[in-house]
Amino acid sequence: MRPHAGDALAAGGYHDGAGPQAGAGRRGHELVMSGTVQRGSFTLAADLAAAPGEVLAILGPNGAGKSTLLRALSGLDALSSGSIRLGGLTLDDAATDTFVPAAHRPVGLVFQDYRLFPHLDVRDNVAYAPRVQGSGRRAARAAADKWLQRLELTALATRHPHEISGGQAQKVALARALAAEPALLLLDEPLSALDARTRTAVRAQLRSHLDQFTGPVLIITHDPLEAMIMADRLLVIENGRVVQQGTPAQVAAQPATQYVAQLVGLNLYGGTLDPANGIVHLTGGGTLFVTYSNVDDVPRSKSARSSRLAVLVGLRPSAITIHASRPSKASSRNIWKGTITALEQLTDRIRVQVDATPPALVDVTTSAVADLGLRPGIGVWLSAKATETDAYPEPGTQAKPAVQSWQPADQPRPAHDDHYAGLPAK
């Protein structure tokens, strides 16, 4: 029988993959979901695919539908329409009333709140996964010891959940999920319980473990840096809809919404481009001279000049220069006036928030703040070169093939956090 939205898993929140479906797809198969989930007045509509061995990070603001997606994939909630398939195994299909219960899915799920068994020590919490799959006590504990060693938890083996820290409990929950050797791994905020001092090291360890996993991995996170560093691709959900997906480099270079732009530390403006002169008339007022890939391929006829293209314009805070007075010798084509509303310390720089048309975030050095006397309430001038902007078609708009064809070149995932220096500091 298909469960209703909101039905909860009774025992511990962990899906061990026991039962007739256990082991299905463990050689590594693609996860494909296309469907909707109705939870009260909220509807999630999602189309996604994750390849074997791929790490897909799910980003979105609170209430966007990230947890609803996780519950549907794990079998805690049934789809209202559509299907979920893992290789040749159909996990959920509303049209045929097919539904594999959570306890029978080859899925490892790590909840943000751990859900460890309080009466079991750490070793037996991890051993629980192979035990319910039919392993004997000795074999299950041997499997548990292997994962405890990999995650540097051996010293905690005989402790109970109430005797370890939150970060340690999260790692135990991860070890339990991996000990089941699942075909699909779902991680809900896997690093959120760790303190900042240890998060970087644990992130690298986790990424190393995930590199050895043959199935798809989905990570639910609110941390853009975590997503950028750990994931092969990003999928962004807002208001129950997928608004953007792509590699970290693609999403960082061309954010589709203001939420994504804030995640990657970019100024983002919507407007319409006049391809005849390279000017974007911004939705919120004002104009910007921009660079626009393949603009020379747009016909320069009279009709082309009168027709404008809906675009988004990205502008890095570090690409904007701030002045105490209007610059008279600046080579920048974009010059506008504003008022400082706030200043924020970001590790090695100061981020200045300027109320203007258009508004802007500007990154400056500490010495520049002192030299220019920057503080909230004072008027300033901003300048930015057209070559520092990136204008691209607004998602959902129909553009000419020459425009639609641009794609940022795929780039390898960076090995260190500082490769995405534009991200807001943590």
The burial class, CB within 10 Å (0-12 / 13-18 / 19+), for 192 is: middle
Could you give the percent of the chain with pLDDT greater than 70?
82
Confidence of residue 3 (pLDDT cuts 50, 70, 90): low
Q: How far is CA 69 from the centre of its chain?
A: 14
Q: Say if CB 261 and CB 420 are below 8 A apart.
A: no
- Indicate the SS3 state at residue 180: coil
Question: Measuring CA to CA, which residue among 247, 133, 110 is closest to residue 180?
Answer: 133
Q: Say if CB 353 and CB 361 are below 8 A apart.
A: yes
R_g over Cα of the chain:
25
Mean pLDDT of the chain: 83
Exposure b/e, 57-92, CB count within 10 A at least 16 = b? bbbbeeebbbbbbbbbbbbbbbbbebbbbbbebebb
Biggest distance spanned by C-alpha atoms of the chain: 80
The first and second tokens of residue 30, run together, are 């693609």
Identify the residue with better confidence: 409 or 246.
Answer: 246
pLDDT tens by residue, 18-28: 343 444 434 57
Q: What is the pLDDT of residue 58?
A: 97
Amino acid at position 129, single letter: A
Contacts of 102 (CB under 8 A, 6+ apart): 9, 15, 74, 75, 76
pLDDT tens by residue, 206-215: 888 788 789 9
The burial class, CB within 10 Å (0-12 / 13-18 / 19+), for 125 is: buried
pTM, entire model: 0.79
Helix axes 166-179, 122-132, angle to 10 degrees: 20
Q: Is the pLDDT of residue 402 over 70?
A: no
Confidence of residue 79 (pLDDT cuts 50, 70, 90): very high
The conformation of residue 99, written as its DSSP 8-state character, comes to E
Q: What angle do CA 12, 197, 165 make, to 5 degrees?
A: 30
Positive or negative torsion for Cα 210, 216, 221, 224: positive
Length of the chain: 426
- Measure the N-to-C terminal CA separation of the chain; round to a whole number of Å: 45
Q: Say if CB 87 and CB 67 are below 8 A apart.
A: no
When mean pLDDT is compared across 121-125, 206-210, 222-226, 268-272, the lowest value belongs to: 206-210
What's the rounded Cα separation, in Å, for the pair 346 and 351? 7
Q: What is the pLDDT of residue 181?
A: 87
pLDDT tens by residue, 158-169: 999 999 987 788
